[in-house]
Amino acid sequence: MEHPPDLLHGAARALDEHPDRLAVTGDGSVGLTYRELHASARSVVDGLQAVGARRGDRVVLRFDTTDAPLLAAAWLASLAGGFVAVPASPRFADADLRRIARDCGAAAVVGRPSVLDEDVPRVAAQDVRPLDGGSVLDGTSREAGTLASIIYTSGTTGRTKGVACPYGSLVSAPFAAGTVQVHAFPYDTSAAQNAMSRALLGSTTHVMSTFNPRHVVDVLEREGAGWLGVSPVMATMLLRSRALTGRRLDALRVVVLAGSATPPHVAAALAEALPRAAVTNHYTLTEAGQHFLRQVVDPARPQVLGRNGTTAQVSILDDDGTPLPAGQVGEIAFVVGCGPELRTYYGDATATASMYSPPGFLRTGDVGHVDELGDVHLTDRKKDLIIKGGLNISSAEVEAVLAAHPAVLDVAVFAVPDAALGELVAAAVVPGDGYRQEDLAAYARTHLGRDRAPDRWWVTGPLPRTATGKIAKAALRASLTVDRPAGSP
């Protein structure tokens, strides 16, 4: 793993070599060159120091989705000034924002007005502007264990946790010089933090304010983009819109699927739709930092996460933390060793110890196995396994089958209690054109068998999702009347 000075030194090198190259742009915003990005970051550092913020203080970054260049300047300022960045996008309600500020002990805010203005000083977004002067960087290095940011993630349970990210866990490998990257990841996610870091290192970054498939393709074509980052939900939208049909995307070389597990049929369809690009599954989690698995999608084996030991080492653990042999199903864990660059749960030593149990292994909460070739396969989230009469049923497997039906726009599968069998399989379906519940039930029985096919059905509107695109199943269950299912064909 590269050490933190590489990110800061890489940012200085990008400024020296490409001062007038466009660094960051976005929908509805004026882009910044590398010279302007560094000058804007200097204005942020000056503003924070003027309101009393000092090295090591927590600084909340609160911007609109159209403020990508300003956000990048604030991120660079946090790194250069030694502040701890706490990104908090508009997806957080006022009560959540206040709780996050209290939890991290925020000393200041950079960006747009918010309820935090009542409690802490703010450097206004309009004050983030290029000033005369050189680089914001002073050549100072950071120790690998020094805290760089805190990312608040709600996960799929709804409980927001702060993930403490040391400098040593930040991405520091640049793209090839001149690469244009496009993404629409919410800026308070690990995927967006990686993209923001690369935006300092010599490439040009275009951040979409929202994901509109046709607009995304327009930008890819117009900018000659070589890299696109999307979540599985975005990939599904892109495919269903048919926005790729007839478009020339000759420069596009890499498409990264990140944020949550990609249904195999979506990965395979995207690979077929973009034959010139390497459509790649990127498997990690916020807590893992730069430990990840990566695999160019093979349409014949789209469920593979990556080859063990290529980009990271994983082990399959049983419930007691004992490694299992190839072919056996257990919890996927990254082999991370021990070091100051490991991410932790901010202020929660108990949760951190549980995640690194046994020490040196980072438990992902996902269930899977490693095959005889060394390829890692994902089965499901551990807590999403359904145990029906002693039979372990993967909710992810059931979701993948149902999602492939042409009349299904979206679907979530989860367990509901049953007095006789312990748990039953339940499905919440967002219907598309031509949807008929009895047809989908028959399709499920044909492709899954009676034991794995859903026993209970709901027809619903858009599914609640986390910032990274994962279905928030706790919120979904709370919104449904579990005791009175919409149907049980």
Q: What is the pLDDT of residue 3?
A: 37
The type of residue at 220 is L
The whole-number average pLDDT for the span 60-87 is 94
* Residue 173 pLDDT grade (very low, low, confident, very high; cuts 50, 70, 90): confident
pLDDT at 441: 94
Nearest to 99 by CA among 347, 365, 435: 347
Quick one: 323 exposed, middle or buried, by C-beta within 10 A (0-12, 13-18, 19+)? Answer: middle
Looking at 146, 171, 196, which one is the last position of a domain?
A: 171
Quick one: tokens of 327? 């072919």
* Confidence grade of residue 4 (pLDDT, cut at 50, 70, 90): very low
Residue 313 tokens, joined: 């080492």
Last residue of a domain, one of 120, 144, 171: 171
Could you read off the pLDDT of 215-263 as tens digits, one per residue? Answer: 999 999 999 999 999 988 899 899 989 999 989 899 999 999 988 778 8
Q: Flag whether 158 is in a domain.
A: yes
Res 5: pLDDT: 44
Sign for the CA dihedral angle at 231, 234, 238, 244 comes to negative
Instruction: Find residue 25's DSSP bridge partners.
Output: 206
Average pLDDT value for residue range 327-343: 93
What is the per-residue pLDDT for 483? Answer: 41
Does residue 133 register a pLDDT over 60?
no
User: Considering the domain boundaries, does residue 136 fall inside one?
Assistant: yes
Q: If you average pLDDT over residues 149-164, what whole number do you get? A: 78
Measured distance CA(71)–CA(162) in Å, rounded: 20
In contact, 352 and 166? CB cutoff 8 Å: no
Structure tokens of 165?
Answer: 């990210």
pLDDT value of position 481:
58
Alpha-carbon distance of 280 to 203, in angstroms, equals 20
- Domain containing 402 — which CATH number? 3.30.300.30
Predicted confidence at residue 167, as pLDDT, reads 92
Average pLDDT, the chain: 88
Q: Are 149 and 78 in contact (CB under 8 A)?
A: yes
Say which residue, 381 or 282, is predicted with more confidence: 282
**Residue 67 placed within a domain:** yes
CB contact at 8 A, 24 and 214 = no
Pairing state between β 293-296 and 278-283 = antiparallel
Query: Which pLDDT tens digit goes with each residue over 36-55?
Result: 999 999 999 999 999 999 99
pLDDT value of residue 1: 33
- 439-465 per-position pLDDT tens digit: 999 999 999 988 889 999 999 999 988
Q: Which of helix, strand or coil describes residue 389?
A: coil
Instruction: Report the C-alpha gap between 38 and 44 in whole angstroms.
Output: 10
Q: Which domain holds residue 418?
A: 385-479
- Whole-angstrom distance, CA of residue 23 vs CA of residue 195: 12
The answer to whether the CB of 86 falls within 8 A of the CB of 104 is yes
Would you call 94 helix, strand, or coil by DSSP?
Answer: helix
In a domain, 287, yes or no: no
Across the range 346-374, mean pLDDT stands at 93
User: With helix as H, strand as E and coil as C, how does 254-298 read?
Assistant: EEEECCCCCCHHHHHHHHHHCCCCEEEEEECCHHHCCCCEEEECC
Dig out the tokens for 121 from the structure: 């000083």
**How would residue 134 be classed by pLDDT, with cut points 50, 70 and 90?**
low
Q: What is the pLDDT of residue 159?
A: 63
Q: What is the mean pLDDT of residues 394-422?
A: 89
pLDDT at 465: 85
Domain with 126 in it: what CATH number?
Answer: 3.40.50.12780
Token representation of residue 287? 């807590």
Q: Are 319 and 195 in contact (CB under 8 A)?
A: no
Residue 310 within any structural domain of the chain: no
Rounded to the nearest angstrom, the gap between the alpha carbon of residue 269 and the centroid of all alpha carbons in its chain is: 21
3-class secondary structure, 317: strand
User: 132: pLDDT confidence band, cut at 50, 70 and 90?
Assistant: low
For residue 142, give every residue at least 6 positions away whose Cβ sits within 8 Å of its Cβ, in sequence order, or none.
4, 5, 8, 79, 82, 148, 167
Q: What letter represents residue 484's amino acid?
A: R
Number of domains in the chain: 2
In a domain, 212, yes or no: no
Residue 163 in any domain: the answer is yes
Encode pLDDT of 259-283 as tens digits: 877 888 889 999 999 999 999 999 9
Q: Could you tell me if residue 381 is left (phi over 0), alpha (psi between -120 and 50 degrees) or otherwise beta?
A: beta
Tokens describing residue 166:
């040391």
State how far the Cα of 99 lies from the Cα of 111, in Å rounded to an integer. Answer: 18
pLDDT at 84: 97
Residue at 419 is within a domain: yes
Percent of the chain with pLDDT over 90: 61
DSSP element (H, E) containing 403 = helix 395-403
Residues facing residue 22 across a β-bridge: 33
Instruction: Work out the number of other CB atoms within 10 angstroms of the CB of residue 154.
Output: 19
- Quickly tell me which residue has 């438990």 as its tokens: 363
Give the closest residue to 181 by CA, choosing from 248, 76, 256, 279: 256
Q: Which of 123, 146, 171 is the last residue of a domain?
A: 171
Q: At what angle do helices 68-81 and 190-198 cross, to 10 degrees?
A: 80
For residue 149, the model assigns a pLDDT of 97
